[in-house]
Amino acid sequence: MFTTDQKETTLNLIKERLGIRSNVRDTYLTAILESVIVELEQEKGLVLDGTNPYHFMFVVDYAEWRYSNKGSMDGMPRHLQFRLHNLMISGGGNGGNMGL
């Protein structure tokens, strides 16, 4: 689970990666961030921990990629696929009980 403070920090890191200094796109970036968290937890079955640096940075990188590749037909980059698979195999903190 990501707290409000962790989501704010995540948003700031996404903006840093994108080189965005204003708050003009915060609403859109926050929507992407929220959708990434929901996707990972509800669709992929992960139990995200905002205090876990591996989980935290994966959410940052995944949300940044989603923003940067909106409308693209290209698939997820291999490094994100690899990290997502590792999270899913480890169960993302739910003891590996994913019903696979």
- Domain membership flag for residue 99: no
Asked if residue 100 belongs to a domain, the reply is no
Count of domains forming the chain = 1
- 40 Cβ contact list (under 8 Å, min separation 6): 46, 48, 59, 62, 87, 92
**Residue 78 lies inside a defined structural domain of this protein:** yes
Asked if residue 98 belongs to a domain, the reply is no
Structural domain harbouring 25: 4-93
pLDDT at residue 96, as a whole number: 45
The pLDDT value given to residue 91: 65
- Residue 65 is assigned to a structural domain of this protein: yes
Q: What pLDDT is attached to residue 70?
A: 86
pLDDT at residue 100 tops 50: no
In-domain check, residue 64: yes
Residues 13-36 have a mean pLDDT of: 97
CB 35 within 8 A of CB 20: no
pTM over 0.75: yes
Q: Is residue 35 part of a domain?
A: yes
Interval 18-46 mean pLDDT? 96
Span 46-66, pLDDT tens digits? 999 999 999 999 999 999 999
Domain membership of residue 42 (yes or no) is yes
What are the angstrom distances between the C-alpha of 12 and each of 5, 64, 77, 87, 90? 11, 11, 22, 23, 27
> Which carries the bigger pLDDT value, residue 94 or residue 26?
26
Closest CA to 67 of 40, 27, 38, 21: 27
69-83 mean pLDDT: 91
Q: Which residue has the tokens 């915060």?
A: 26
